[in-house]
């Protein structure tokens, strides 16, 4: 029986994958997540998603390994996690009235065959004009300091937005489930057919 492995310890990705109602295990991929010099963001997230899956596949010889990585981009700048209140204020202030693009790299690696599928899924978040008081109140309430872009869209962060645009709302949280289902199907693993096992 093939084992489904999520190459991530993110509680957000774990809860997304649980929507599939399947058994899976989580494994932490210890890799260097630094960007290469002049590496475009699309290539960065694709490369890191693949590297995470490859790293985890060393532990699971018969696994279907899911790797994922995400960056936020505003006006050509790659945005990381803020890590603290002051950086959160800077990030959200710079988003006010603008659209931020989230790129999520997704890899499905068959550890048995070595075959990998890698896609990059975009998602667009348009922010309202935000006041400093709103930004401060939001950050203190939700403390999203380990989230790229300084917000949690699945929580109170929804109050910061004008609109959301993309094919799959799960993408913004970090795991494009619609595309993942297709990648699994390509490997002969049908999510709905697995429900009876």
How far apart CA 105 and CA 11 sit, in angstroms, is 17
Asked if pLDDT for residue 196 goes beyond 80, the answer is no
| pLDDT tens digits, one per residue of 37-88 | 999 999 999 999 999 999 999 999 899 999 999 988 999 888 878 999 999 9
Give which of 143, 148, 130, 138 is closest to 48, Cα–Cα. Answer: 148
Question: Domain spans of the chain?
Answer: 3-196
- Quote the pTM value: 0.91
How far apart CA 118 and CA 91 sit, in angstroms, is 29
Average pLDDT over residues 109-122: 97
Higher-pLDDT residue of 153, 190:
190
In three-state secondary structure terms, 179 is: helix
Residue 134's pLDDT is what? 97
Residue with tokens 């297709």: 182
| pLDDT tens digits, one per residue of 125-172 | 999 999 999 999 999 999 999 888 899 888 899 999 999 999 999 999
Q: Which CATH class is domain 3-196?
A: alpha beta
How far apart CA 129 and CA 102 sit, in angstroms, is 19
* Tokens describing residue 5: 């492995």
Residue 188's pLDDT is what? 94
How far apart CA 174 and CA 151 sit, in angstroms, is 13
Catalytic machinery residues: 69
Bridge partners (DSSP) listed for residue 4:
64
């Amino acid at each position: 029986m093939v084992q489904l492995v999520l190459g991530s310890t993110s509680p957000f990705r774990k809860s997304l994958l649980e929507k599939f109602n399947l058994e899976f295990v989580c494994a932490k991929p210890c890799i260097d997540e630094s960007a290469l010099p002049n590496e475009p963001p699309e290539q960065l997230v694709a490369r890191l998603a693949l590297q995470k899956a490859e790293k985890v596949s060393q532990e699971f010889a018969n696994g279907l390994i899911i790797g994922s990585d995400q960056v936020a981009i505003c006006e050509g700048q790659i945005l990381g996690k803020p890590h603290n209140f002051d950086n959160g204020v800077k990030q959200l202030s710079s988003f006010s009235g603008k659209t931020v693009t989230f790129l999520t790299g997704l890899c499905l690696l068959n550890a048995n065959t070595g075959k990998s599928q890698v896609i990059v899924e975009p998602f667009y978040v348009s922010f309202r004009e935000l006041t400093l008081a709103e930004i401060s109140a939001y950050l203190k309430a939700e403390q999203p300091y380990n989230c790229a872009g300084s917000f949690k869209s699945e929580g109170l962060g929804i109050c910061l937005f004008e609109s959301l645009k993309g094919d799959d709302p799960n993408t913004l949280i970090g795991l494009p489930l619609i595309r993942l289902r297709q990648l699994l199907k390509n490997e002969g693993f049908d999510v709905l057919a697995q429900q009876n096992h």
